[in-house]
């Protein structure tokens, strides 16, 4: 299997920051935020091996203009693309916001 390096786009990092803020301040659950974000990070790092096993999502690729793949962590969707030996995480968003 191929091994990949993982990179977060600025938008994906912003998504993580907003998620952290919402859990900590809106829901007043800092410990939950810590655990949730650790799990999310673990899921993203799991893409180091096997990221190319997930098929390209044709509908999302039309929206973003390049080959997009997606995986999930709980209620969140992780959108990413592969270029050479790199996985670029484009967005991290609630599954409910994926509309075709």
Give the model's confidence band at 1: pLDDT under 50 very low, under 70 low, under 90 confident, else very high.
confident
pLDDT at 100: 65
Three-state DSSP string of 5-57: EEEECHHHHHHHHHHHHHHHHHCCCHHHHHHHHHHHHHHHHHHHECHHHCCCC
pTM, two decimal places: 0.94
Could you tell me the domains of the chain? 5-97 (3.30.2310.20)
- Ramachandran bin of 20, using left for φ above 0, alpha for ψ from -120 to 50, beta for the remaining angles: alpha
- 17-51 pLDDT per residue, tens: 999 999 999 999 999 999 999 999 999 999 999 99
Q: What is the pLDDT of residues 30-39, one digit of tens each?
A: 999 999 999 9
Backbone angles phi, psi at 12, to 5 degrees: -65, -40
């Amino acid at each position: 299997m191929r091994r990949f390096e993982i990179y977060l786009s600025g938008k994906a990092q912003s998504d993580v920051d907003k998620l952290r803020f919402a859990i900590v301040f809106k829901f007043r659950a800092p410990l939950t935020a810590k655990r949730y974000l650790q799990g999310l990070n673990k899921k993203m790092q799991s893409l180091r091996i096997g990221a190319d096993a997930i098929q390209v999502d044709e509908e999302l690729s039309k929206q973003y203009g390049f080959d997009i793949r997606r995986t999930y962590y709980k209620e969140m969707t992780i959108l990413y693309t592969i270029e050479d030996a790199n996985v670029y995480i484009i967005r991290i968003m609630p599954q409910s916001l994926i509309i075709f």
